[in-house]
Amino acid sequence: MDPIQLEVLRNSLIGIAEEMWAALLRTALSPNIRERRDCSTALFDAAGRMIVQSESIPVHLGAMPFSVKAALEAFSGLQPGDVIILNDPFRGGAHLPDITLITPIFEKNKLQAIAANRAHHADVGGIVPGSVPGNSTEIFQEGLRIPPIKLWSQSELNQEAFQLILANVRTPIEREGDLRAQFASNETARKRLIALAERVGWPLLTQAMSELLDYSERRMRHEIGKLPAGVYEATDYLDDDGQGNEKLPIHVSVEIKRDSIHVDFTGSAPQVNGPLNAVLAVTSSAVFYTLRSLTDPKIPPNEGCYRPFSITAPAGTIVNAKFPAPVVGGNLETSQRIVDTLIQAVAQACPDAVMAGCQGTMNSITFGGINPRTGGPYTFYETLAGGFGARPDRPGIDAMHSHMTNTLNTPIELLETVFPVRVERYEIRENTGGAGKYRGGSGLIREIRVLADATFSLLADRRKTRPYGLFGGEPGAQGEDFLIRDGIQTRIAAKGTLHLKANDVVSIRTPGGGGVGRADSL
């Protein structure tokens, strides 16, 4: 295909993926999707290979192909108007709050492409409001598991399945609004892709999809060829699983060959009792993100990028957990530590392309209870930013989300309007970045007062271990978490659930990033 024509079609497809994302944001009901943008969109070919994606959440995008392929395996005879829903981490999902909707796109009765999106729902049931328990010990406590099922069949809503889902969540009106927004997002893609095919023809469009994958693969293999061949190893640790298991190792061996990279997690911790277990889709997503970040950012991100990568993740370990392990934090915390470990390994091969440790956690907080303004239940979910690691030529950024997440904060004005809380403090946590020739970024402080009794859950890490420095730079500061009740400040565990009384304050103080280079080299 002519390169100019291929580039024109690539950008047309990217435009569709971005319009999907915009449609989802504009029609969603929950602040977590509408304001924080905790959602992602992508287009796939008929074989379930990712072709293009929106610029959204890395942990979603790298794992979403597992969901699409699980859906194709579950249904051999898809029809126009079918829409598949799933969130089961052991059937192509990542963790239960991330619900994926998959819409096949047909030319008459021939499957030609697939639209898919993933969105984090602020409650899917389970033992705590918000469905991110820091103390879960099995997946059944984390919410409603949805295997691949047809939520729409030939354009007809499956009312029984829809009502079953809504009956198992605390905020059904919000969930219904978000699910319908996801449906609308995929419908936007279906209509736009059909319109594009009517202009250029399906044969040319499907040829372009295939050639885009091959193009990205060639570019990626060329980039790998620039790296020094060898085997590079590193180990980093998660603090604990909240159930008594301490200092959980993530070990990685990265073998760089002439035009491929193999990543081996042999030696990582066995799966644990607490919620830090990652499924293979999450681990793969972290690997894809990290290795791609080392190469030319202009390479089109699609499944072709990932063909040169292979992964060994032993089953039954914290990076490839077996059912019925709790996994909500694998997506949130273990994914971040996988990135940290990989960067430390590849820093030996390409020191100019890496950065020191970012905060290494998503600091997931959830509040829930009865909203006295409405008399109905509410759930509020948010992740909190922290310090970016320094790079070899510049300091780290203060108070930014990093690596596997890419969300915004919840605006204080909206937070206080919608939920029975008040933000008492929101500021940079000064001087928490690691010292060095280039200092790491500082974390932040967010203090929230509840105005009515509530259940609060925290799932965070880097409270015992510190974000690493590189090449003589110092590590960033650990995070800290406190409950302030009647003026008395008490340290709380980073993984667990508290029952708050009206006027209690929760104080989350996030980690700083690591520094790069010795401070005395300035």
Tokens 């491929």 found at: 260
Which of 181, 216, 251 terminates a domain? The answer is 216
Q: In the structure, what pLDDT confidence band is assigned to residue 260 with cuts at 50, 70 and 90?
A: very high
Max intra-chain CA distance, the chain: 70
434 — phi, psi (to 5°)? -65, 140
In the prediction, which pLDDT does 143 show?
A: 98
Angle between helices 64-74 and 280-293 (to 10 degrees): 140
**Full domain range(s) for residue 145:** 3-216
The residues, any chain, with a CB within 8 Å of residue 385's CB and separated by 6 or more, are: 359, 363, 399, 400, 401, 402, 409, 443, 444, 510
The two structure tokens encoding residue 360:
């290494």
Residues in the chain: 522
Examine residue 318 and state whether it is found in any structural domain, yes or no: no
User: What is the number of domains present in the chain?
Assistant: 2
Rounded to whole angstroms, the Cα distance separating 514 from 519 reads: 12
Rounded to whole angstroms, the Cα distance separating 188 from 180 reads: 12
Per 3-state DSSP, what percentage of the chain is helix, strand, and coil (rounded to 5)?
30, 25, 40
Query: What integer best gives the mean pLDDT of the chain?
Result: 97
- Answer whether residue 108 shows pLDDT above 80: yes
- Answer whether residue 466 shows pLDDT above 80: yes
Burial of residue 178 (CB within 10 Å: 0-12, 13-18, 19+) is buried
The two structure tokens encoding residue 404:
């596997």
In the prediction, which pLDDT does 301 show?
A: 95
- Answer whether residue 4 shows pLDDT above 70: yes
Asked if residue 299 lies in contact with residue 259, where contact means CB atoms within 8 angstroms, the answer is: no
Examine residue 280 and state whether it is found in any structural domain, yes or no: no
Q: In the structure, what pLDDT confidence band is assigned to residue 175 with cuts at 50, 70 and 90?
A: very high
Written as one string, the DSSP assignment of 281-329 is HHHHHHHHHHHHHTS-TTS--SHHHHTTEEEE--TTBTTBPPTT---HH
Portion of the chain with pLDDT greater than 70, in percent: 100
Which of 159, 182, 216 terminates a domain? The answer is 216
Which of 184, 216, 248 terminates a domain? The answer is 216
Rounded to whole angstroms, the Cα distance separating 313 from 483 reads: 38
In the prediction, which pLDDT does 522 show?
A: 63
In the prediction, which pLDDT does 271 show?
A: 98
- Give residue-wise pLDDT tens across range 329-343: 999 999 999 999 999
- Give residue-wise pLDDT tens across range 283-333: 999 999 999 998 999 999 999 999 999 999 999 999 999 999 999 999 999
Tokens 């639209």 found at: 115
Asked if residue 84 lies in contact with residue 101, where contact means CB atoms within 8 angstroms, the answer is: yes
Strand runs labelled E in 214-256: 230-240, 246-256
- Give residue-wise pLDDT tens across range 381-423: 999 999 999 999 999 999 999 999 999 999 999 999 999 999 9
- Answer whether residue 369 shows pLDDT above 90: yes
In the prediction, which pLDDT does 520 show?
A: 83
Examine residue 118 and state whether it is found in any structural domain, yes or no: yes
In the prediction, which pLDDT does 515 show?
A: 98
Q: For the whole model, what pTM was predicted?
A: 0.96
- Give residue-wise pLDDT tens across range 145-161: 999 999 999 999 999 99
Examine residue 252 and state whether it is found in any structural domain, yes or no: no
Examine residue 281 and state whether it is found in any structural domain, yes or no: no
Portion of the chain with pLDDT greater than 90, in percent: 98
3-state secondary structure string, 167-210? HCCCCHHHHHHHHHHHHHHHHHHHHHHHHHHHHHCHHHHHHHHH
- Other CB atoms within 10 Å distance of the CB of residue 198: 10
Q: Which of 285, 384, 293 is nearest to 57 (CA)?
A: 285
Examine residue 322 and state whether it is found in any structural domain, yes or no: no
- Give residue-wise pLDDT tens across range 431-453: 999 999 999 999 999 999 999 99
Rounded to whole angstroms, the Cα distance separating 474 from 513 reads: 9
Q: Which of 478, 438, 416, 460 is nearest to 276 (CA)?
A: 460
**CA distances from residue 440 to 172, 387, 426 in whole angstroms, order as listed:** 42, 7, 20
- Answer whether residue 76 shows pLDDT above 90: no
